[in-house]
Each structure stands twice: as C-alpha cells, then as structure tokens.
C-alpha cells in the first residue's frame, strides 16, 4: 500500500472529514491513477484511505476515514447499497431520482441517476474510474435494474486526466426514458441529453412553481434556459394561460413541445424560442412584452470561484432584465448552479439587479436542490444550486 504524507498543519481538513487533499498539501508520496493510498499526517498518524489522482489539483479523494476499513469491492458494494437505501426513505415525488451524489454518498466523483428502470452514471474521478466495474455491478444488484448507461463525457474528466467516454456499461437498447414527476410526465435520452439526460435537482422547485402559478393566478409565463421544459409543464399544470420557453438548444426545445402534447395541454398554450436568453430579454423589453411569472435557470456561469466576478455581472444582467419584464406583483424564480457563487453572494447580485432595475421584491422562499442531491455537514462545498422565489412589488 502506497502512502501519501501531508505537510505540517495540512491534516486539519481530513480530521474534519472533508474528503479532498489538494496537491499543495502533500509533502511526499505518489501512486497510479485511482490507486488506493493511505494518507497520513506529517507525524505519520493515519488520516484517511483515498484514491490518488496524479494529474488533478485534488490529488486524493478520500474513500474512508476509518483505519480498519478495507477499500475493496465489498466497500463499494456497501456504499452503493447505502446510497440506494437512503433514496428509498426520502420523499421523492418521481421515479426519476439521483441515487448517488458524489461526496455526499461517500463516493467522490460519482453521479448516478435513475430514470424508471434505466440507470445513468458519470464517473468523474480517477478513483471511480478504477472501480467502475465493481460499482456498475453493485448498482444493478442494489436497484434490480438491468441497464446502465455511462455518460462520463463532462469537461471535468479532463482535469482528472481521463478521456471522455459514453455508452452502455451494462445492458443495451433504447436510450429514451419517460419519468413521472409529480403530476406530469417527462422524457429524456441518456445518450443525447445534457449531463445524465435530465435536471432532477429542480424537481421540488418545479412543483413549487406550479403551485404558485396557480396561487397567484399567473397567466403569461416566461421560462428562460428551459432545457426540455420541466418548468414549462409545471406552469401549464398550474393553470398558466401561456408559456414561452427560451433555450439555445434546438433538440431541447423540440422536447418541450413534445412534453406539452404528452401531458395533454393545448399546443397553443406553448411557444418555444431558440435564442440567447440575454438577447431575448432585451428584445422583449423593447417590444413592451410583460410576464406574470419568469423562471431564470441559467447554466453554470462560474465553474469555480475564480470566475465569480464575471459570472456575477452575467447573473445581475439577466436578473435586472427579468425584474423589469415582470408585471408588478409578478413572480420570479431565479437560480444559480455555480459552485463558485454562494447563496449570500447570489442574494447580493439579485439585490443589485433590483436596484438597477428600480424594482423592489420580497423573497418568498430560498430555493435549493431536491433532497436526493444531499449536502452533508462535512462537505459544504457540495452545495451548488441556490435560488430565490421573489414577488415583485405591486405598482
């Protein structure tokens, strides 16, 4: 077993069970990609077992903080079983559920989503790559599913020195799935869609939007960065007269229209626009359009804290435009999924947007990812999605 010795004083975060060891904390030691290493303090005390990643800034991701643990196939089988068992206890109103959420489930770098009987996984770290076959079998055993598609093609794989791969890991066949979320049905394609095919993290926020569209009697709804229209369907189910969905992905917009039909809504109640959202918002303002409810769910503008400043300007811009486009008394659901932008900073950005727009608004609720995407108290960095449900002041 290879050993990684940390520099003096660099043991603190592992002692708090934070699972990352940065390159700069290591005094000596090395191993192959994904190999299990023993991490010890400068004085030789055991700190953790972890997976080594030679080309990543996060040089070790911890598997366990218990010295007597053995990092073998049985270890991963137990972790997968534990993650799956947790989901069966959570209040998830869908058969689309995140089964494994990386660090929060003791499996750093691994994401697994379940869509009915179809599983889709992202192996995002050298350690999970090394244990891929064991993890794949454990997932099938724990769920009873027979088909597992791999979508290890996100940009972050490059940081780990891993190639992008996508394809069937277990089973084969159609890559389409239909899930029942709350009162509606949504489709996805694990091979073609973004990430693992669908954004499960917004599930609870979609339900809330539907309820509030009904409560406030919103008629005209604008869903920006709509992807396949999860919020659009929620708004229609909530009684909106008309929803405009804006996205720059034509295949996603085709699916919005398919979802409107699938859920039995009149096609006349839905318009899709293939456009850059920022440009769309500017044009809409010029044309005098107004909406009773707007959703802003942009992609990650700040992948890391280093991008926070430029991202902050981009968030402020779209929020300023949206606040102006809202009718007085209108509803805004605004989000950021950037890990580099904390909830407090996001609040400040939206406050700045309100000042610039000369619009006041009440925060009705602070929003986050659904509970099958847990954040653990040991790993607050896992928190990424934050949002505000705002009610624009009446005229």
Instruction: State the catalytic residues.
Output: 337
In terms of CB distance, is 79 or 373 closer to ligand SAH?
373
Does 249 contact ligand SAH by CB under 6 A?
yes
C-beta of 340: minimal distance to ligand SAH in Å? 17
Does 227 contact ligand SAH by CB under 6 A?
yes
- How many residues appear in the chain? 395
Pairwise CA distance, residues 83 & 359, whole Å: 44
By CB atoms closer than 10 A (0-12, 13-18, 19+), residue 152 is: buried
C-beta of 83: minimal distance to ligand SAH in Å? 23
Does 276 contact ligand SAH by CB under 6 A?
yes
Does 297 contact ligand SAH by CB under 6 A?
yes
Pick the binder of ligand SAH from 163, 167, 299, 380 (CB under 6 A).
299
Residue pair 11/42 in contact (Cβ under 8 Å)? The answer is yes
C-beta of 345: minimal distance to ligand SAH in Å? 20
In terms of CB distance, is 9 or 155 closer to ligand SAH?
155
Largest Cα–Cα distance in the chain? 70
In terms of CB distance, is 170 or 300 closer to ligand SAH?
300
Under 8 Å CB-to-CB from 317, ≥6 apart: which residues? 278, 353
Does 202 contact ligand SAH by CB under 6 A?
yes
Pick the binder of ligand SAH from 115, 199, 265, 301 (CB under 6 A).
199
Under 8 Å CB-to-CB from 332, ≥6 apart: which residues? 293, 294, 295, 296, 319, 322, 323, 326, 361, 388, 389, 390, 391, 392
In terms of CB distance, is 85 or 250 closer to ligand SAH?
250
Stretch that binds ligand SAH, among 17-25, 111-119, 164-172, 222-230 (CB under 6 A): 222-230
Stretch that binds ligand SAH, among 23-31, 81-89, 117-125, 223-231 (CB under 6 A): 223-231
C-beta of 232: minimal distance to ligand SAH in Å? 9
- Please, what is the angle between helix 343-357 and helix 308-325, to 10°? 50
In terms of CB distance, is 50 or 197 closer to ligand SAH?
197
Residue pair 23/1 in contact (Cβ under 8 Å)? The answer is no
Does 360 contact ligand SAH by CB under 6 A?
no
Pairwise CA distance, residues 323 & 302, whole Å: 22
Closest C-alpha to 325, from 222, 205, 218: 222
Does 301 contact ligand SAH by CB under 6 A?
no
Handedness of CA 188, 340, 79, 97 (dihedral sign): negative
Gyration radius of the chain's alpha carbons: 22
Pick the binder of ligand SAH from 225, 265, 301, 333 (CB under 6 A).
225
Total binding residues for ligand SAH by CB under 6 A?
17
Pick the binder of ligand SAH from 277, 302, 349, 390 (CB under 6 A).
277
Does 181 contact ligand SAH by CB under 6 A?
no
In terms of CB distance, is 139 or 390 closer to ligand SAH?
390
Does 124 contact ligand SAH by CB under 6 A?
no
Expressed in angstroms, the distance from the first to the final Cα of the chain is 69
Closest C-alpha to 50, from 10, 102, 14, 7: 14
Q: Residue 377 is encoded by which pair of tokens? A: 């108290």
C-beta of 332: minimal distance to ligand SAH in Å? 14
Residue pair 226/253 in contact (Cβ under 8 Å)? The answer is yes
Does 247 contact ligand SAH by CB under 6 A?
yes
Per-residue HEC secondary structure of 226-245 comes to: CCCCHHHHHHHHCCCCEEEE
In our burial notation (b when 16+ CB lie closer than 10 A, e otherwise), range 170-181 reads beeeebebebeb
In terms of CB distance, is 95 or 249 closer to ligand SAH?
249
Closest C-alpha to 244, from 231, 262, 261, 258: 231
In terms of CB distance, is 2 or 313 closer to ligand SAH?
313
Does 263 contact ligand SAH by CB under 6 A?
no
Does 163 contact ligand SAH by CB under 6 A?
no
C-beta of 326: minimal distance to ligand SAH in Å? 18
Positions that interact with ligand SAH (CB under 6 A): 199, 202, 225-228, 230-231, 246-249, 252, 276-277, 297, 299
């Amino acid at each position: 077993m290879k050993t990684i010795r940390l520099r003096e004083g660099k043991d603190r975060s592992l002692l708090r069970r934070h699972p990352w060891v940065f390159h700069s904390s290591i005094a000596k030691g090395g191993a192959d990609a994904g190999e299990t290493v023993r991490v010890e303090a400068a004085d030789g005390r055991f700190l953790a077992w972890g997976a080594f990643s030679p080309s990543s800034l996060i040089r070790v991701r911890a598997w366990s903080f218990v010295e007597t643990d053995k990092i073998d196939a049985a270890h991963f089988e137990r972790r997968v079983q534990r993650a799956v068992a947790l989901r069966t206890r959570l209040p998830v109103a869908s058969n689309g559920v995140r089964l494994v959420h990386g660090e929060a489930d003791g499996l750093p770098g691994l994401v697994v989503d379940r869509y009915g009987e179809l599983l889709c996984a992202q192996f995002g770290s050298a350690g999970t790559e090394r244990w891929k076959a064991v993890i794949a079998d454990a997932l099938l055993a724990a769920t009873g599913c027979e088909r597992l598609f791999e979508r290890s093609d996100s940009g972050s794989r490059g940081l780990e020195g891993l190639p992008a791969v996508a394809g069937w890991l277990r089973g084969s066949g159609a890559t389409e799935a239909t899930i029942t979320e709350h009162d509606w049905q949504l489709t996805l394609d694990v091979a073609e869609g973004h990430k693992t095919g669908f954004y499960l993290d917004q599930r609870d926020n979609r339900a809330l939007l539907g309820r509030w569209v009904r409560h406030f009697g919103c008629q005209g709804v604008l869903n920006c960065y709509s992807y396949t229209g999860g919020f659009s369907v929620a708004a229609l189910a909530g009684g909106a007269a008309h929803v405009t969905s804006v996205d720059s992905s034509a295949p996603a917009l085709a699916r919005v229209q398919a979802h409107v039909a699938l859920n039995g809504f009149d096609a006349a109640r839905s318009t899709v626009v293939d456009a850059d959202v920022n440009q769309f918002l500017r044009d809409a303002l010029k044309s005098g359009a107004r909406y009773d409810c707007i959703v802003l769910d942009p992609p990650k503008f700040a992948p890391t804290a280093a991008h926070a400043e430029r991202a902050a300007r981009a968030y402020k811009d779209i929020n300023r435009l949206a606040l102006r486009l809202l009718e007085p008394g209108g509803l805004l659901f605004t989000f950021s999924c950037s890990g580099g932008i904390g909830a407090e900073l996001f609040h400040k950005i939206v406050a700045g947007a309100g000042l610039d727009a000369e619009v006041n608004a009440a925060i009705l609720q602070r929003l986050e990812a659904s509970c099958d995407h847990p954040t653990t108290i040991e790993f607050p960095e896992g928190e990424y999605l934050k949002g505000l449900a705002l009610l624009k002041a009446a005229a």
